[in-house]
Amino acid sequence: MKRIRIYFILLFFLPVSSITGQEFSVNNFVRYTTADGLSHNTVTGIAQDSTGYMWIATASGLNRYNGSRFIQYHSTNEINSLASEELISINRLDKDRLAINTSGLHIVNTRTNETRNLFIPYRDHQFEYKFNMIERATGDDSGNIFILSRSGFYHFDKSCKLVFRFDYYNDEEVPVSHFFFGRELVKLDNNRLLIVAIDGLYLYDKKKQLFKRLKAADSPLLGEYLNYPVTHFTFLQDKPGNIFIFKPSSDSVTYINIPENKKIISRLSFTPEKTAFHYRSRLIPANDSLFYLTNHTAGFYKMQFSPGTGSVKINPEKYFSQYLCNTLVIDKDKNLWVATNKGLFRQEREKSQVQLAVFPNALLDSFPNIRFDDVYVTSDKVYAGTRGFAGLLLFSKKTFEFEKQITFKNYKSGGNYVFSIASADSTNLLLGTDGPLLLFNKTTQKEKQLVPPNWNSGDWTNDLSKDSKGNIWISSHDIFRFNPATGQFKIIPTPQRLLRIPFAIEEDRNGNMWLSGHGLARYNTNTDSFDLVLDSFPYIKMMDKQVNAMMIDQDNTVWFNSNNNGLIAYNVNKKSFLHFTRSNGLPDDNIASLIVVDNKLWIAGYSGMACMDLQTFQIVRFGKEEDFPICRSLREHDFFTTVYPNNSTWVFQMPLCVLIRMHCFGKNPFPAYL
């Protein structure tokens, strides 16, 4: 039976240097994934130390590559281990120290091999995690460290003592606000930092320890950008004093040299797409005149820069267009390394290439950032909801063959981000999207928009959950209970302590509904009110209230993740917690999805899967080390799971369009592949 179609071809035997126009072809790169020892296939940062080791930050752990193998570093109970598993980026603080942005700042001294964690303190420890969502970090020659986080701006001296702090949110806002202050940290000169923030531009003077809003008199060359973010700009930098400024939907780029008081505007030979250069974009210098510029959504460009004239030229050809490129690095041998959402790539310019390459299908070509979010299975079809503008995909349940792509063209792009699917009735599916709420007829394959009360044009759906009474609970700006039979909606007030849109909704065995967000809340369906809110959980190093995945078993135990803190079980009757982490056998301490099948809890982590026996709490891992064929052969990341009536489990592998069907027989947790 054909279920997964992966095609390989032998590319060529010619040296890369002899092939014109193929310098940055993916075929001329070696690809490293979890099958090669990398801890995760989403690579968020790369840095090379003075001895030549490559340090790789991923969505699940830190890696050091010595030229032949990867050594993994993870968050453990040791005080100086990684602060958490999910790493945002990595960069140099100085010639010896690397800064890894995670829950707090993890610092590695590559000369002494010493490590330490730097945390932004807050008097109420249960909210400290909100202050330690690090966006940017930089250092100077005096050993100072400057941190921009979602909560504000912070200056630590060479002894890692906090000497200045700016908290954007006051004490009253801390428990009820979703933090997002910091965006970019730019060095104007050796003394001043430009802070690009959610509400404008700020200036920090290191010597005076003065933090204030930027004014035109502070830097006249930046005066025209003071209306940011009313007018959006992207500020990128290669070295102190040099700033390249991009404006959405513009065919020009502005270069500013602060020391020389120079501003040059260059017209590009093409107009990039509106979001080509945004907060995910990075500028990487190869030398004084050649740069690499990552696209916000996929790929990267070559950028030529003239230091003498300040003129900029960007080659319109986009390289690695099938990959989200998080950053690039030029190593000491002048080879290019590319950190992507599908592994780590290393250029081999002088080596003859004899490689195997996976042929992408048309969808992957057209939608490089595609990934599955949810699935619904009928007697003969598999309906797969995607993000990445791909809409709804139909597969044959019998053959696993892809049959059709359905897009919704009347709702801009939001309707083609299908986040969640639920059965409304025997004929219709309810689709929760990044825009409208859609009732989809499986027979006619036509949709009808539903408009709940108080639904605004910018609203979207995070989760759909059908309860035992046939109602569908909708997680959006408001919580709705929808009765498909009557077509009526009821608004359920969201507990303020959960913050924003709940991540998941599940029904317990008493018919009550549980919502997860920044904590857990139980809605009592008998009293029509919330009667329990939990927001203090076990943790490894730092408490984190964010709960992304949740499942309730037959004994009414609530199983859920806590960001970077593993798996937690809450016994409602005993009001007690159980805590499981990597040390107990989990693949990692971040969990994407949970599902219960036959008294087994299936756990989808970022770097593999596990199955827990809910009677003995024994964990069986399915990863590279355990020779799990799915992880080994596909070598991708982020599992999402769901279940259909005969208790077979469907596993989605992101971001590839691959469906994998597993059956669990009896009490044996090991799957058989059909």
Q: What residues have CB less than 8 Å from 197, skipping those under 6 apart?
A: 168, 181, 182, 183
Residue 603 lies in a domain: yes
Residue 667 lies in a domain: yes
- Same structural domain, 559 and 647: no
Residues β-bridged to residue 242: 257
Q: In what order do the strands lie in the sheet with 89-92?
A: 89-92, 97-102, 104-109, 115-118
Last residue of a domain, which of 527, 559, 580? 580
**Closest to 398 (Cα-Cα) out of 661, 69, 92:** 661
pLDDT under 70: residue ranges of the chain:
1-23, 349-361, 400, 413, 622-674
Phi and psi (nearest 5°) for 401? -75, 140
Residue 615 lies in a domain: yes
Q: What residues have CB less than 8 Å from 416, skipping those under 6 apart?
A: 386, 389, 390, 391, 407, 408, 433, 434
Number of domains in the chain: 3
- Same structural domain, 400 and 472: yes
Residue 547 lies in a domain: yes
Residue-level pLDDT at 373 = 80
Average model confidence (pLDDT) across the chain: 85
- Same structural domain, 566 and 600: no
- Same structural domain, 525 and 488: no
- Same structural domain, 573 and 592: no
Judge if the upstream peptide bond of residue 655 is cis by omega within 30 degrees of 0: yes
Residue-level pLDDT at 370 = 77
Q: What is the spatial distance between Cα 57 and Cα 53, in angstroms, rounded to a whole number? A: 13
- Same structural domain, 397 and 484: yes
Instruction: Check residue 584 and report its DSSP letter.
Output: G
The 3-state DSSP class for residue 578 equals: strand
Last residue of a domain, which of 580, 604, 623? 580
Provide the token pair at 644: 């259909």
- Same structural domain, 567 and 614: no
Tens digit of pLDDT for each residue in 501-559? 888 999 999 999 999 999 999 999 999 999 999 989 999 999 999 998 999 999 999 99
505 burial level (CB within 10 Å; 0-12, 13-18, 19+): buried
- Same structural domain, 554 and 598: no
Residue 401 lies in a domain: yes
Q: What is the spatial distance between Cα 112 and Cα 662, in angstroms, rounded to a whole number? A: 47
Residue 23 lies in a domain: no
Residue 558 lies in a domain: yes
CA angle 590, 595, 598 (to 5 degrees): 135
Q: Is 6 left (phi over 0), alpha (psi -120 to 50) or beta?
A: beta
Residue-level pLDDT at 421 = 93
Residue 614 lies in a domain: yes
Q: Are 138 and 146 in contact (CB under 8 A)?
A: yes
- Same structural domain, 402 and 420: yes
Last residue of a domain, which of 467, 492, 517? 492
What residue spans of 106-146 are helical by DSSP H?
A: 128-131
CA angle 144, 148, 150 (to 5 degrees): 150
In whole angstroms, what separates CA 335 from the centre of its chain?
27
Residue-level pLDDT at 22 = 53
Question: Looking at residue 438, which CATH number applies to its domain?
Answer: 2.130.10.10
Q: How far is CA 288 from CA 157, 238, 265, 284, 285, in A?
A: 31, 9, 18, 11, 7
- Same structural domain, 484 and 529: no
Q: What residues have CB less than 8 Å from 324, skipping those under 6 apart?
A: 280, 297, 298, 340, 341, 342, 368, 369
**Closest to 149 (Cα-Cα) out of 194, 108, 119:** 119
- Same structural domain, 529 and 616: no
Q: Are 75 and 85 in contact (CB under 8 A)?
A: yes
CA angle 532, 177, 187 (to 5 degrees): 145
- Same structural domain, 601 and 575: no
Please give the residue range of the domain that contains residue 607: 588-674
Tens digit of pLDDT for each residue in 438-495? 999 999 999 999 999 999 888 899 899 999 999 999 999 899 999 999 999 999 988 8
